[in-house]
Amino acid sequence: MVVQTPNGFNLDNSGQRIVVDPVTRIEGHMRCEVNVDENNIIRNAVSTGTMWRGLEVILKGRDPRDAWAFTERICGVCTGTHALTSVRAVEDALGITIPDNANSIRNMMQLNLQIHDHVVHFYHLHALDWVNPVNALRADPKATSELQQAVSPSHPLSSPGYFRDVQNRLKKFVESGQLGLFKNGYWDNPAYLLPPEADLMATTHYLEALDLQKEIVKVHTIFGGKNPHPNWLVGGVPCPINVHSTGAVGAINMERLNLVSSIIDKCIEFNKNVYIPDVKAIGGFYKNWLYGGGLSSQACLAYGDIPENPNDFSPEQLHLPRGAIINGNLNEVHDVDPRDPEQVQEFVDHSWYSYGEAGKGLHPWDGVTEPKYELGPNAKGTKTNIQELDEAGKYSWIKAPRWKGHAMEVGPLARYVVGYAKGHEDIKDQVDGLLRDMNLPLSAVFSTLGRTAARALESEYCGRLQKHFFDKLVQNIKNGDESTANVEKWDPSTWPKEAKGVGMTEAPRGALGHWIKIKDGRIENYQCVVPTTWNGSPRDTAGNIGAFEASLMDTKMERPEEPVEILRTLHSFDPCLACSTHVMSPDGEELTTVKVR
Amino acid sequence: MSQIETFYDVMRRQGITRRSFMKYCSLTAAALGLSPSFVPKIAHAMETKPRTPVIWVHGLECTCCSESFIRSAHPLAKDVVLSMISLDYDDTLMAAAGHQAEAALEETIEKYKGNYILAVEGNPPLNEDGMFCIIGGKPFVEQLRHAAEHAKAIISWGACASYGCVQAAKPNPTQATPVHKVITDKPIIKVPGCPPIAEVMTGVITYMLTFDRLPELDRQGRPAMFYGQRIHDKCYRRPHFDAGQFVEAWDDENARKGYCLYKMGCKGPTTYNACSTIRWNEGTSFPIQSGHGCIGCSEDGFWDQGSFYNRVTDLTQFGVEANADKVGMAAAGVVGAGVAAHAAISALKAAQKKTQSHKEEA
């Protein structure tokens, strides 16, 4: 039976059902089911979050100054971004302002995360959807060297001998019979289109990126003491600055600044010499594979981030843009207000929760989460051995957030679509330049490949911004300001009896918001609405499908039993399931009654 | 099966000389805190052993352990994965998905019965019949039990697998449960921390490959070589503690001088880990060095010990806090009182440990 969704997709679940569980190379646990027609084209898509941890109920009653550490553990991949969102929410609630240096350091840490996350995503989670390392064994190292020099003349690692060494290592690895992570891959699937030389170049960069990523994160280690999970502070940053006097060795001093500066340069260089050229080179071979646009051409949401000045989150002050696009109208960018009870709402009709009342949407400040695990009447299998889900019933641990009732895409592509529509100069230059280089029309942006390319462009842009805030920090220190924390309201006795606040960031995967209510110095309610909750959401009350589901529609699969195309498009969102499924209630009493085995 | 390549073969093939290889072995020995007499042993192991199969499963988690693991500098993560172990199943990194991923798991279990290492990141929730964490349509706890059955040994990565971590903090709504409470018939090595230090993770694996045995474990099941001492014992700010020089407020003059963070809630005195010696991210820094106290993330139940900014003495009846305050106000150099304060904390920790192990036995 064909059903048209309010957001314009024709769903037909009559064809062969394909189940992918686990979806791998993502953060957390996810399941995907699709129906394909007789031509192996996807006509129905069902995306399911398959984990739930209940972090927000755990936060209830705790010290708001500790919340960053709890929420940071929502995700160790986008590590730090939840912590930043959390300290912003607490500061918003209590009216705490932060010093200029703290803003620069926080921005550097957030930008550093964007770059690290995008690089690791592209090379270690996503590349194997486009790149075939086994095919790289057939490459001519000399021709690979020529390809490398053609696509990136200034990358120093490009000699034939270098590629021969990598190829030999790969060869022995494959010949050992122990294929490790490459075991059971889809290496003879016709969906892989790269010539062997491009496969060898990209596989080599898989290894180079693995070495580089451990350098990138040292910015977190310097300012936050460790990575993953650096330390943060309500009111500023925990790292004091001392560049002139006694004891400077125990603080941010000249040596630490030099180390930060050298890492920033490494990021810029890698983006320029490796990441961007690879995306262009690989994309060039796939430029006729323009599936996967989904919601990106019609509904995009961004909260914006990276404030130029401390404590000013007005849209014109943000380097990453804020705004919402709906109904495919790029000529109008709507303003976004996270406090407005009518804008962001979550629905649970198809999620494993209950509001007690069907069809209800709740703003996060008033959010409720009562788990209710049940399968729809047409599901196959049992409750603890699911064969096929019934999407007409409840089918995911992810809620369905909507903006003014619309299912939205968030993430690098959404940010770039909003930025482009707003005429953001840097973003427009980057997008137009890439399209020109690749000889593609603007419409090509709305695709799986567009999502992957937007992430690379953003990594490049964030590299430049990271440098900007480093220079700003140094200039401010030169001007005599070494302050990093505002402790006026550190003591809870200075707080009002009741307060509520919102913190917003652009996490690597998209718009992230934390909503907090504080009472008598303790957390009364804490709610997070995270990027993968938006992108991975199940259907809502009205039947709108979410971004993951929409993006899979109408894609042709080469071999339905080998989910290369499904993985390719899902990975282009960089799903993070631990983030999306941490959700919790303001009042977790119900939870204590769930069955204990 | 075609001939299996040893770690030494791999290094030689990459153009690494015998001399550099031996140097690598000495560095490995040094990183593990072993005497030079162990170097030939390490070299021999690396020259002769095939890659050990590893199955890495994921329960309720945040994936910070995997992220930490790939940060390892010595050895590099790529060398571990390509040359030391055979990572045959790891849903975070493997190419295959769905049925093909599940087949890879089954093949590895079947082929290497009793000879593979099971690495567990995250933990199983037991409420809702285990369906708060679903793999292949079934509860994660089933996959865990299945993979554990024929494992040679289990590594519990991080605070989740070792103790429960954040999702097990009160009221633990999903009944997230550490691995040793579910699997009781296998040797389990706990490598706690949120996450553990990268080089500690690869150090534990390398130790097992090199010496073909489990590392010596303390009574809680942690490798003694990395978790045998408190952060406070080896902290470079320790002299300030002993001298009674403390940070009194964030970003105050004492903070800028790098004084002791004890009064800001630092949990270094009660936390067993290698942060103050190995440090983080290739020795770049560690929390105390960057200016924030230790939050005690490698200790059991650290989420439920009060605010991270409470002094550790808040937990006890000892008079440590008063001592530290007096010391702080007195002129620097009153070393005696500082030492006394420290002795009291040590006593406190011993008392806590007693309670903990008592609880575990119960």
Residues A426-449 have pLDDT tens digits of 999 999 999 999 999 999 999 999
CA count, 13 A, side-chain hemisphere, B32: 28
Query: What is the rounded distance in angstroms from the CA atom of residue B46 to the CA atom of residue B43?
Result: 5
pLDDT digits (tens, 9 = 90+) for A460-469: 999 999 999 9
pLDDT digits (tens, 9 = 90+) for B114-132: 999 999 999 999 999 999 9
Interface test with B, best of A50, A53, A71 (most B CBs within 10 A): A53
Chain A contact for B68, CB < 8 A? yes
Query: Closest Cα to residue A345, out of A404, A279, A414, A286?
Result: A404
pLDDT of residue A57: 84
pLDDT in tens, B293-304: 999 999 999 999
Per-position b or e across A262-274, b if 16+ CB within 10 A of its CB:
ebbebbbebbebb
Least confident of A242-256, A527-541, B252-266: A242-256
CATH number of the domain bearing residue A162: 1.10.645.10
3-state secondary structure of A13: coil
DSSP string, A211-262: HHHHHHTHHHHHHHSSSSS---BTTB-S--B-SSSTTGGGSB-HHHHHHHHH
CB proximity B69 to A under 8 Å: no
pLDDT in the model for residue B354: 45
Contact B295/A69, CB-based, under 8 Å?
yes
In tens, the pLDDT along A129-146 reads 999 999 999 999 999 999
The Cα diameter of chain A in Å comes to 76
- Chain A: residue whose CA lies nearest to B123: A53
Q: Which residues of A touch B117 (CB under 8 A)?
A: none
Q: Is the pLDDT of residue B287 over 80?
A: yes
Residue A227 — φ and ψ, nearest 5°? Answer: -150, 135
How many whole angstroms separate alpha carbon A93 and alpha carbon A95?
6
Q: Confidence class of residue B14 from pLDDT cuts 50, 70 and 90?
A: low
A429: Cα separation from own chain's centroid: 23
**Are B67 and A221 in contact (CB < 8 Å)?**
no
Alpha helix stretches (DSSP H) within A27-99: 55-59, 67-72, 81-94
Measured CA to CA in angstroms, residue B272 lies from A510, B74, B190 at distances of 37, 22, 13
SS3 content of chain B, % helix, strand, coil (to 5): 50, 15, 40
| Distance of alpha carbon A488 from alpha carbon A97, whole angstroms | 9
Q: What is the pLDDT of residue A71?
A: 96
CA distance A70 to A56: 9
Q: Check A250 against B100: CB less than 8 A apart.
A: no
Q: What's the average model confidence in pLDDT over B29-58?
A: 74
Domain hosting A192: range is: 97-292+447-487
Q: Which helix (H) or strand (E) holds B152?
A: strand B151-157
* Cβ within 8 Å of A, B 320-359: none
Question: CB-side exposure of B55: number of CA atoms within 13 Å?
Answer: 31
Least confident residue range of A329-338, A555-564, B345-354: B345-354
CA-to-CA separations, B176 to A37, B58, B59, B303, B360, in angstroms, rounded: 41, 13, 9, 14, 17
> Domain tally for chain A?
1
Instruction: Give pLDDT, residue B355.
Output: 44
Helix (H) or strand (E) holding A512: strand A510-519
Shortest distance between the Cα of B40 and any Cα of chain A, in A, equals 25
Flag if B134 and A53 touch (Cβ within 8 Å). no
**pLDDT computed for residue B33 by the predictor:** 56
pLDDT mean over B92-111: 96
CATH class of the domain comprising B51-224: alpha beta
Query: Please, are residues A549 and A35 in contact by the beta-carbon 8 Å criterion?
Result: no
Residue B227, φ and ψ in degrees, nearest 5: -120, 20
Give the burial string for A185-197 (b: 16+ CB within 10 Å, else e).
bbeeeebbebbbb
Q: Do A229 and B297 touch (CB under 8 A)?
A: yes
Give the domain ranges of chain B: 51-224, 231-361
Q: Quick one: what percent of chain B has pLDDT higher than 90?
A: 71
Residue in the structure block whose two tokens are 């119900």: A590
CA dist A99 → A482, A592, B169, B309 (Å):
9, 42, 33, 21
Both tokens of A444, joined, read 């090509």
The CATH number of domain B231-361, selected from 4.10.480.10, 3.40.50.2300, 1.10.287.130, 3.30.360.10: 4.10.480.10
The DSSP H or E segment spanning A362 is strand A361-362
Q: Which helix (H) or strand (E) holds B240?
A: helix B238-242
A331 to A316, A345, A423: CA distances (angstroms): 18, 25, 10
pLDDT score of B313: 64
* Residue A479 belongs to a domain: yes
Q: In the prediction, which pLDDT does B45 show?
A: 64
Res. B186: pLDDT tops 50: yes
Cα-Cα-Cα-Cα torsion B317, B319, B325, B326, nearest 10 degrees, comes to: 160
Contact A133, A199 (CB under 8 A): yes
A217-255 pLDDT, tens per residue?
Answer: 999 999 999 999 999 999 999 999 999 998 887 789 999
For chain A, what is the mean pLDDT? 94
Structure tokens at B262: 């004890």
The CA angle B231-B234-B240, to the nearest 5 degrees, is: 95
B136 close to A381: Cβ distance less than 8 angstroms? no
Question: Per the structure block, which two tokens stand in for A133?
Answer: 């390392």
What pLDDT is attached to residue B27? 67
Average pLDDT in the A460-485 region? 98
Residue A196 lies in a domain: yes
Q: Are B190 and B165 in contact (CB under 8 A)?
A: no
Position A352 in a domain: no
Contacts of A168 in chain B (CB under 8 A): 13-14
Residue B330 clears pLDDT 50, i.e. is over it? no
3-class secondary structure, A563: coil
CB contact set of A587 (below 8 Å; sequence gap of 6+): A60, A368, A525
pLDDT at B43 over 80: no
Q: Judge contact between B163 and B301, C-beta under 8 A.
A: yes
- B171 upstream amide cis, omega within 30 of 0: yes
Which residues fall within 8 angstroms of residue A213, CB to CB, at 6 or more apart? Answer: A116, A119, A120, B70, B71
**Radius of gyration from C-alpha coordinates of chain A:** 24
Helix (H) or strand (E) holding A523: strand A522-529
Please determine, for residue A543, whether its predicted confidence score (pLDDT) is greater than 90: yes
Greatest alpha-carbon pair distance for chain B in Å reads: 72
Please spell the DSSP secondary structure of A92-144, one letter per residue.
HHHT----HHHHHHHHHHHHHHHHHHHHHIIIIIIGGGT--TTGGGG--HHHH
Q: How many CB atoms lie within 10 A of CB B224?
A: 13
Nearest CA-CA partner of A413 in A508, A347, A282, A308: A508
Task: Calculate how close chain B gets to A433, using CA atoms only, in Å.
Answer: 32
pLDDT at position A589 = 38
Cβ distance A58 to B297 less than 8 Å, yes or no, reads no
Sequence-distant (6+) residues with CB within 8 A of B329 are none
Which residues of chain B are within 8 Å of residue A384 when distances are taken between CB atoms?
129-131, 138-139
Please give, rounded to a whole number of angstroms, the shortest distance from the CA of B37 to a CA of chain A. Answer: 31
| CB spacing of B176 vs A387 below 8 angstroms | no
Confidence of residue B39 (pLDDT cuts 50, 70, 90): confident
> Is pLDDT larger for residue B336 or for residue A239?
A239
Residue B37, pLDDT score: 72
Q: Which residues contact A75 (CB under 8 A, 6 or more apart)?
A: A27, A81, A82, A576, A578, A579, B62, B63, B64
Q: Three-class SS of residue A181?
A: helix
Q: Note the pTM of the prediction, 2 decimals.
A: 0.90
CB A36 within 8 A of CB A15: yes
